[in-house]
Amino acid sequence: MRRPVVRKLTVLAVSAAVVSVGAAAPPAPTTAPAEKVPVAVGYGGAVASVDADASAAGIEVLRKGGNAVDAAVATAAALGVTEPYSAGIGGGGYFVYYDARSRSVQTIDGRETAPLTADSDLFLENGKPLALADAVSSGLGVGTPGTPATWRTALDKWGSKRLAALLAPAERLARDGFTVDATFRAQTAANETRFRYFPDTAELFLPNGELPVVGSTFKNPDLARTYAELGRKGVGAIYRGDIGDDIVDTVNKPPVDPASGWNARPGELAEKDLAAYDAKLQAPTKTTYRGLGVYSIAPSSSGGTTVGEALNILESTDLSKASDIQYLHRHIEASRIAFADRGRWLGDPAFEDVPTQELLSQRYADSRACLIKDDAVLTSPLAPGDPRDPVACATGGKAAPTTYEGENTTHLTVADKWGNVVAYTLTIEQTGGSGITVPGRGFILNNELTDFSFAPADPAVHDPNLPGPGKRPRSSISPTIVLDRHNRPVVALGSPGGATIITTVLQTLTGFLDRGLPLVDAIAAPRASQRNQTTTELEPGLYDSPLKARLESIGHGFRLNPEIGATTAVQRLPDGKWLAAAEKVRRGGGSAMVVRPAS
């Protein structure tokens, strides 16, 4: 018998029991905030994430003898507590793993899937595409979660600890609380209006009807109980059990406050969608760059192919000797070309004929690289090439626009004392996901299906990213591991940021590998993001610099983006040491930790 989902129709009746779900916001701090440090060097393994409590959860597992996969799951679960608007068991992600024993890279596609009843008209209403906001905060945008299945697959294949033990730090964190910081409050404020549409979300994240106060302790006992249940029953509780029943009920009858006036369109998720879900073990993408092997995630994500193609385009330019102007110009143009091809060719390979190997061939990259001129700028939107039949400097067909992708994903990077490495990016899509909290469960559902194209940009041109039954929407997630000539790790990294993930990973890699920047400085460097659009986004460090005018003089156009991405990374050093690195400033700074710091 399916357990009923409790519907709460107003936020005003707040009792003491309700207050315990989202802790009241006292004026003064009640717990000491964990310290964030953007770089750490030492032995025994390393963890880098956006959050100190989450990094500490991974370090705790490593200190107790767990491996990189164990620590990655523990860190991800903790991020579901402290970064609930970016990740959680209501979402999905992509997991890239380096096995030190075999010196090989393997991956898991844990992307969410559309219901088996979905078709290409999923986001059409009266024959017209829905407005993005209407699709986001609805049951229509929710895909079958992939994160729990990713954890199960990774642990079954490469882990050494039981799920319950790995969820314990996150369960404790949810029960006892974490310290609210300025980023958490700002993200809550940005979502306050739509959070109030859904009483369960408002009750949890707007304690006593107010924004959480910086320095206060935020508790989520519902999520603590959910993690405890997952620990006892395994993730089958989601795909064939009570938690899954609650997800289905919530998607199909979104618990909206009638007084809000919000039309929370129902989805069509069913128990059979959850039961049919599979996190896919698959080979990584691979390309070589400066003699190094670059491994990432293959489609359904476009990250590995697009970063790889851009690197191949840049291979013929000695970026170590290029001026700052030449370096940024080449980075922008390579990104523009790779995104033009992404829009035409990338989709779920279970449904689309994706020419992955051809997109990653050096022959194809060379045929595209000749489009780049040092004294002129390519016009966007640039038409794609045909990787199956490369013709030098040729473009064909119509350009496909870059679809919107939410920017508030999260990424973690882990290494252990045996030399195993994980780069793992997980998400619930945009900040706050769908905005819909599963009643009594303490987590927000994703809005990943809005990564699909709502309708073809041109009915005469095939769009590989239209919805379909059980189809995975295209992603830009790009967890990446770089190996040396002996197949040993050099660096592993990734970032949140929607479509800007690709350009962030590309720029960080070239800054580190070509420009000689220390890893933490390559992460901190101001970013440029071109995604086959008429203008390139610049962070303030570039937008306010003399470089902008010099690039404009050859034809570039720019717009300001206050913050692009939030990278974390690990680097293998000599003598068994690891360097963990994260952001210095973005998203309040990241958290790098090692098991035993080097003196």
On whether the CB atoms of residues 352 and 548 are closer than 8 A, the answer is: no
178-179 vs 39-49, strand pairing mode:
unpaired
At residue 403, the pLDDT reads 66
> Which residue in 449, 466, 105 sits closest to 297, CA to CA?
105
312 φ, ψ (degrees, to nearest 5): -65, -35
**Axis crossing angle, helix 324-345 with helix 500-513, rounded to the nearest 10:** 140
**Smallest Cα–Cα separation from 184: which of 23, 300, 349, 381?**
23
The verdict on whether 536 is a catalytic residue reads no
- Beta-carbon contacts of residue 428 (< 8 Å; ≥ 6 apart): 85, 86, 87, 88, 90, 91, 434, 444, 445, 446, 447, 448
CB 447 within 8 A of CB 434: yes
How does pLDDT run across 104-146, given as a tens digit for each residue? 999 999 999 999 999 999 999 999 999 999 999 999 999 999 9
Question: What tens-digit pLDDT sequence spans the chain (599 residues)?
Answer: 333 333 332 322 222 222 233 333 333 334 455 689 999 999 999 999 999 999 999 999 999 999 999 999 999 999 999 999 999 999 999 999 999 999 999 999 999 999 999 999 999 999 999 999 999 999 999 999 999 999 999 999 999 999 999 999 999 999 999 999 999 999 999 999 999 999 999 999 999 999 999 999 999 999 999 999 999 999 999 999 999 999 999 999 999 999 999 999 999 999 999 999 999 999 999 999 999 999 999 999 999 999 999 999 999 999 999 999 999 999 999 999 999 999 999 999 999 999 999 999 999 999 999 999 999 999 999 999 999 999 998 766 677 666 666 567 999 999 999 999 999 999 999 999 999 999 999 999 999 999 999 998 778 788 999 999 999 999 999 999 999 999 999 999 999 999 999 999 999 999 999 999 999 999 999 999 999 999 999 999 999 999 999 999 999 999 999 999 999 999 999 999 999 999 999 999 999 999 999 97
Backbone dihedral region for residue 544 (phi beyond 0: left; psi -120 to 50: alpha; all else: beta): alpha
Question: In angstroms, rounded to a whole number, what is the distance separating the alpha carbons of residues 513 and 272?
Answer: 46
Alpha-helical (H) ranges within 396-518 are 500-513
Of the candidates 156, 142, 184, 155, which has an alpha carbon nearest to the alpha carbon of residue 51?
184
Stated pTM of the model: 0.93
Distance between start and end Cα atoms, the chain: 59
Q: How many residues appear in the chain?
A: 599
Distance of alpha carbon 592 from alpha carbon 103, whole angstroms = 25
C-alpha angle with apex 324: 321 to 328, nearest 5 degrees?
105
Residues 6+ apart with CB under 8 A from 528: 328, 331, 332, 503, 507, 536, 537, 538, 539, 542
Read off the pLDDT of residues 309-325 as tens digits, 9 standing for 90 and up.
Answer: 999 999 999 999 999 99
Q: Rounded to the nearest 5 degrees, what angle is found at the Cα of 472, between the Cα atoms of 470 and 476?
A: 175
Core vs surface per residue 514-533: b (16+ CB within 10 A) or e: bbebebbebbbbbbbbbbbb
Rounded distance between C-alpha atoms, residue 266 and residue 250, angstroms: 9
User: What's the rounded Cα separation, in Å, for the pair 183 and 304?
Assistant: 29
**At 224, which amino acid appears?**
A
260 neighbors 435 (Cβ within 8 angstroms)? no
Q: What pLDDT score does 467 carry?
A: 97
Which among 402, 409, 431, 500 is annotated as catalytic?
Answer: 409
Which tokens belong to 272?
């059979």
Q: How far apart are CA 324 and CA 336, in angstroms?
A: 18
DSSP annotation of 449 reads G
How many C-beta atoms lie closer than 10 Å to residue 462's C-beta? 14
Q: What is the pLDDT of residue 236?
A: 97
Annotate 111-165 with DSSP letters as a single string.
Answer: --B--TT--TTTTEETTEEPPHHHHHTSSTTPPBP-HHHHHHHHHHHH--S-HHH
What are the phi and psi torsion angles at 96 (to 5°)?
-115, 125
Is the backbone of residue 426 left (phi > 0), alpha (psi -120 to 50) or beta? beta
CA separation for the pair 181, 214 (Å, rounded): 5
Structure tokens at 125: 């209403």
Which pLDDT belongs to residue 15?
28
Q: What angle do CA 346, 347, 352 make, to 5 degrees?
A: 105
